Amino acid sequence: DTGVSQDPRHKITKRGQNVTFRCDPISEHNRLYWYRQTLGQGPEFLTYFQNEAQLEKSRLLSDRFSAERPKGSFSTLEIQRTEQGDSAMYLCASSPGTTSKKRNTGELFFGEGSRLTVL
């Protein structure tokens, strides 16, 4: 199974520490997305890459958050100086681009998420 994989699945950290999450998308997908989900809410968009270019960032993405996709393959999401309000599930998703031969139905393929708990 070559679905979207995320690492680590769970991270517990103390307030003020930095954390980094990694996402490996489906190999032929050139679009990669980061979402955040808190309890009782739907996923909220954070940022989006097409290949290595970061094309869109949400206002939710404060300057403590940075995302990269250096070679257009895997991506990392780093949170600096974590706060308790950062506790959430961080979801990565990928999708084929418009050059894909498959009909684009808008579907994003999600990983299982990285759960962050900030103490």
Residues that bind other proteins (CB under 8 A): 4, 31, 33, 35, 40-45, 48, 55-56, 91, 93, 95, 104-113, 115
Q: Are strands 65-68 and 75-79 parallel, antiparallel or unpaired?
A: antiparallel
Burial of 20 (0-12, 13-18, 19+ CB in 10 A): middle
Q: Which is nearer to other proteins, 2 or 105 (CB)?
A: 105
Q: Which is nearer to other proteins, 68 or 109 (CB)?
A: 109
CB of 106 to other proteins, least distance (A): 4
CB of 4 to other proteins, least distance (A): 8
Q: Which is nearer to other proteins, 8 or 16 (CB)?
A: 8
CA distances from 83 to 26, 32, 66, 70, 73 (A): 31, 25, 15, 26, 29
CB of 55 to other proteins, least distance (A): 7
| H helix or E strand, kind and range, residue 61 | none
Q: Which is nearer to other proteins, 80 or 115 (CB)?
A: 115
Q: Residue written as tokens 């959430």?
A: 88
